Structure 1
Amino acid sequence: MSNSIERNPASYRDPSGFIFEKDGVLYRQVNNYFKEDFDLFIQSGLYDKLVNQQLLIPHQTIHDCISGDENAYLTILPEKINFISYAWEWSFDMLKDAALLTLRLAKESIQFGLSLKDATPHNIQWHKGKLIFIDSLSFEKYNEKNPWIAYRQFCENFLSPLLIMHHSKLTLNQLQLAWPDGIPLEVAAKLLPAKTKYSFHTFLHIHLHAKVSNKAAGKRQKDLQFSRRKFLNLLQSLEMVIRRLKSPSTATQWADYYKEATNRNGYIEEKKKIIQHWLSLNPSLKSAADLGSNEGYFSLCLSEHKIETLSADIDPNCINQLYLKIKQEKINNIQPIIFDFSNPSPAIGVDNKERERFTDRLNTELVISLALLHHLAIGKNIPFEKLASYFSKIAPLLIIEFISKEDEKVQILLKQKRDIFSNYTQTLFEKEFSTFFKIIDKQEIELSGRTLYFMKRNEE
């Protein structure tokens, strides 16, 4: 393989092909091993149908062997994904819709004489306002003698976490960080309440599946034959149980934040006016991250300026509501994710390179951080210097809000812990952030005692 080619660290498991990068562009190689299946996928019409329905990422075919690999059949250039996210950063309904998308692809494949051989959330990403399948090498020729090879993978990656969250009424997406290749059926069966054993579909796909999987592992393939009708019935059963699952909707301290804030003497309107003015002075902005976005009010403002926006918040219910709004209103330039500023998603997998940490995946021109600083500096005891340093690493431009210690919201935080924050002052805030940024403008939000800053990262 050419020295200028960098193979993607997450693309090593499948002999069908792999992803690699050259000159900053991501390609996918199709190996000779997968030639017949890939040709069938294209020639059958399945590829065109899925792309036309916006279910599969489109690609250009490049017949040259860019990688220099002797195993190459051809190279494809997929449409670019702006930000890679993982299932542990998704809300309940995002994971649910990803599961339903996977089942839809499996059903569509059968009609074209193909079978979906992979059923993992890692093959689904956010693109142009919706979830889309990104792996064109996941479709192989259908063999009626074989059961669905991705059945257990689907149950562990989609059904298990959705059922656990549905029955516990808790948002437990971080379980998928502990088990990035899927929550084992044996674990899911023990975490689910006993009553689920009396639900036919849950018993079949989790409890019984967990018991028989290990026993079936040693059986010969001919003992596990699956007709087309059985295959479709299996998919229908999975779809039925998933559609019935409901998002945990536990109330949080952030619920209805903006409704409450709107009652504060025009505070939200004034803040929006200032931010929109700064955005108008920077018309070339194409991307932004709204960290601590809550229900996404200001993410929607960025969206109105045609800015691709990552809307990130620690509250899974807020992110889920934003996702449903984006889906309903067909907003195509906001991507919602669950994000804890004090504990961002780490790098995991083989050599800690298979799944990148949040910071390395984020590539944006502007970060906005509104009504968040006091939660980090006081609620999480993170010094201004550390916060400023981190912000400077992720974007060249920053819009940030400073809320004084006398503010009622800060006082609520201080009632919950001893006040050891003598350094929480606006003067020190400006001093520490000026080490990393130049303050371009600052505006006090009328009648609120709060201040907005527009900053630009210092050039080294």
Structure 2
Amino acid sequence: MAHPDTGVRVDPGSFRDPGNRVFHRDGEVLRGLDERSARDWRALAGSGFFRTLLAAGKLCGTEEVAPTPPWSATLRHERIPFVSHPYEWSFGMLRDAALLHLEILRAALVDGFTTKDGSAYNLQWRGTAPVFIDIGSFQPYRDGEPWAGYRQFCQTLLYPLLLQAHLGVDFQPWLRARVDGLEPDQMRRFFGGARRLLPGVPTHVHLHGAMQQRNARATTSDVRAQLREAGYSRELAAATVRGIEKLVRRLDRRPGESHWSDYQRTCGYSAQDRHAKERFVEEAVAAAGAPAMALDLGANDGRYARIAARHARYVVAVEQDPAVVDALYRALRAEGERRILPLVMDLADPSPGGGWRGVERAGFAARTRADVVLALAVVHHLAIGRNVPLAEVVDQLAGLATPGATLVVEFVHPEDPMARRLLANKPDGLFPDYRREEFERLLAARCRITRRAELPSGTRTLYRAVVNG
């Protein structure tokens, strides 16, 4: 919601905690705090753990600025280069985000603080480095008080990890389906019989679900009183966090083989084609003049995202196969790359808006305005493989870019081996418009084509274009 008279735009995903609210003004990310939250913030800002984590880059950069009415205090946060959602992350990304969340909570408890929330949405990324963004979640710890964020942590972080680590089931569709994550009752259906004994399942699935049912009618005050009487303390809370941390570190699911993981070897490119394509991409991104953000659609092993990162300040690399994204994430993290963000995304079914009124979590198209868009070996998969009209494919590519942005797109001719393989599974004559001439006409209607190049194979054409304003 925007307020034209003040230039303030309230973040639609920031409404669940009435004590603080995130809003945007003049390109800045701000957080308004009520009187109680302002007191908690000032205590937090003076704590040792907060300053240490802030200096290490594990918390988003935050400083207090002049208050914005009606709030008692206002914070200014660093702007994260690209906002992503947990269902767009790979297994390794979700696990590293969970570990950072637990590390921060453990450090907070030592200094007498805790967090009100445990949601995966409290984390974002600087490339392959997770960062905790919900500064308003911190509050002083009170003895006898359970971690209020435990249920959220289970539903949005731990349960998806258990699902994939133990059963090999990709978690992304489950998280995308419900903004609050997986419920204990859902998880119990997955983990019956011998599966009940898998690491983490007895305590965090079955016992957690049973405790929820038992305390369904108890008030928060009742639960706190019971825990206080039982001797629950900050030390026990920290021990619980260490136990969860140990469990999460043990969970793993190494990327397996898939069609897309071997695509670079099987896609039919010759060495000459690959070299020509790399040179074309390098020149196109360099000519864009240090773009703020490049988008690599169908990134696969990140070959072209890495080329783009030589010139762009930030690169979002989108790939539909979770195993391929996980392999790319692990490789980039090992390289120390902090300017490429890999994401799981099916371009024929990109992330929609979700949560309350469909805007609490913005859809991919609403979040994306790139200065350079790379669409290499993508068009034929959408137009032939997924039956998307060619005109709509071009509209999608141009729509993800800012006016005046550079679009680098590859058109695979119908006679190319990969196109023929896709067409072999389709009825004859289904795609009469899938022709180079028609693609160029559609591209020219949305962009100004500035360069064409035929790859040495003779069955693929590369285009560099400027998106119309």
Provide the TM-score with structure 1 as the length reference. 0.95
1:234-273 aligned within 5 A: 234-247=240-253, 249-261=255-267, 264-273=270-279
Structure 1 CA distance, aligned partners of 2:234 and 2:446?
62
- CA gap 1:203/1:376 in 2 versus in 1, 3 angstroms: same
Could you tell me which residue of structure 1 aligns to residue 182 of structure 2? 183
Could you tell me which residue of structure 2 aligns to residue 42 of structure 1? 45
Q: Secondary structure at the match of 2:257?
A: coil
Asked if the contact 2:288/2:406 (under 8 Å) is kept, the reply is no
Q: Runs of at least 4 residues of structure 1 off by over 6 A?
A: none
Could you tell me which residue of structure 1 aligns to residue 136 of structure 2? 137
Structure 2 CA distance, aligned partners of 1:135 and 1:344?
26
Structure 1 CA distance, aligned partners of 2:361 and 2:464?
33
1:419-458 aligned within 5 A: 419=428, 420-458=430-468
Could you tell me which residue of structure 1 aligns to residue 96 of structure 2? 97
1:243-392 aligned within 5 A: 243-247=249-253, 249-261=255-267, 264-392=270-398
- CA gap 1:312/1:263 in 2 versus in 1, 3 angstroms: closer
> Shift in Å at residue 201 of structure 1?
3.2
Q: Secondary structure at the match of 1:398?
A: strand
Where does the alignment leave 5 or more consecutive residues of structure 1 unmatched?
A: none
Asked if the contact 1:379/1:413 (under 8 Å) is kept, the reply is yes
1:53 to 47, 52, 56: 56
Deviating more after overlay: 224-233 vs 420-429? 224-233
> Shift in Å at residue 200 of structure 1?
5.8
Identity in percent: 28
Structure 2 CA distance, aligned partners of 1:19 and 1:198?
42
Structure 2 CA distance, aligned partners of 1:227 and 1:179?
33
Q: Report the AA paired with residue 453 of structure 1.
A: Y
- Residue 65 (1) aligns with residue 67 (2): yes
Structure 2 CA distance, aligned partners of 1:232 and 1:196?
28
> Shift in Å at residue 193 of structure 1?
4.8
Q: Report the AA paired with residue 423 of structure 1.
A: D
> Shift in Å at residue 13 of structure 1?
1.0
What are the Cα deviations for residues 127-169 of structure 1, in whole angstroms up to 9, with x where unaligned? 2541100011111111121111111111111111111112221
Could you tell me which residue of structure 2 aligns to residue 415 of structure 1? 424
2:9 to 6, 17, 20: 6
What are the Cα deviations for residues 268-322 of structure 1, in whole angstroms up to 9, with x where unaligned? 1221012212233333323210011111110011112244110001111111111
Q: Report the AA paired with residue 58 of structure 2.
A: L
Structure 2 CA distance, aligned partners of 1:33 and 1:228?
22
- Considering only aligned residues, what root-mean-square deviation do their CA atoms show, in Å? 1.8
- CA gap 1:261/1:270 in 2 versus in 1, 3 angstroms: farther
> Shift in Å at residue 16 of structure 1?
2.4
What are the Cα deviations for residues 247-268 of structure 1, in whole angstroms up to 9, with x where unaligned? 2634321112223458624321
- Residue 405 (1) aligns with residue 414 (2): yes
Q: Report the AA paired with residue 9 of structure 1.
A: P
Asked if the contact 1:436/1:457 (under 8 Å) is kept, the reply is yes
Structure 2 CA distance, aligned partners of 1:182 and 1:425?
44
What are the Cα deviations for residues 348-367 of structure 1, in whole angstroms up to 9, with x where unaligned? 12222111110010121110
Q: Secondary structure at the match of 2:21?
A: strand
Could you tell me which residue of structure 2 aligns to residue 231 of structure 1? 237
> Shift in Å at residue 3 of structure 1?
4.5
> Shift in Å at residue 115 of structure 1?
0.8
Asked if the contact 1:369/1:399 (under 8 Å) is kept, the reply is yes
Structure 2 CA distance, aligned partners of 1:324 and 1:12?
34
Provide the TM-score with structure 2 as the length reference. 0.93
Asked if the contact 1:175/1:183 (under 8 Å) is kept, the reply is yes
Asked if the contact 1:169/1:250 (under 8 Å) is kept, the reply is no
Q: Secondary structure at the match of 1:242?
A: helix
Could you tell me which residue of structure 1 aligns to residue 86 of structure 2? 87
Q: Report the AA paired with residue 141 of structure 1.
A: P
Structure 1 CA distance, aligned partners of 2:276 and 2:155?
47
Q: Secondary structure at the match of 1:255?
A: helix
Could you tell me which residue of structure 2 aligns to residue 206 of structure 1? 205
> Shift in Å at residue 185 of structure 1?
0.9
- CA gap 1:176/1:215 in 2 versus in 1, 3 angstroms: same
- CA gap 1:22/1:263 in 2 versus in 1, 3 angstroms: closer
Structure 1 CA distance, aligned partners of 2:25 and 2:58?
26
Structure 1 CA distance, aligned partners of 2:270 and 2:236?
60
Asked if the contact 1:364/1:394 (under 8 Å) is kept, the reply is yes
Q: Secondary structure at the match of 1:368?
A: strand
Where does the alignment leave 5 or more consecutive residues of structure 2 unmatched?
A: none
- Residue 26 (1) aligns with residue 29 (2): yes
Q: Secondary structure at the match of 1:367?
A: strand
Q: Report the AA paired with residue 210 of structure 1.
A: G
1:92-171 aligned within 5 A: 92-171=91-170
What are the Cα deviations for residues 195-240 of structure 1, in whole angstroms up to 9, with x where unaligned? 2322463201111111111212434121123222321221122112
Q: Report the AA paired with residue 370 of structure 2.
A: T
Structure 1 CA distance, aligned partners of 2:190 and 2:364?
29
> Shift in Å at residue 27 of structure 1?
0.7
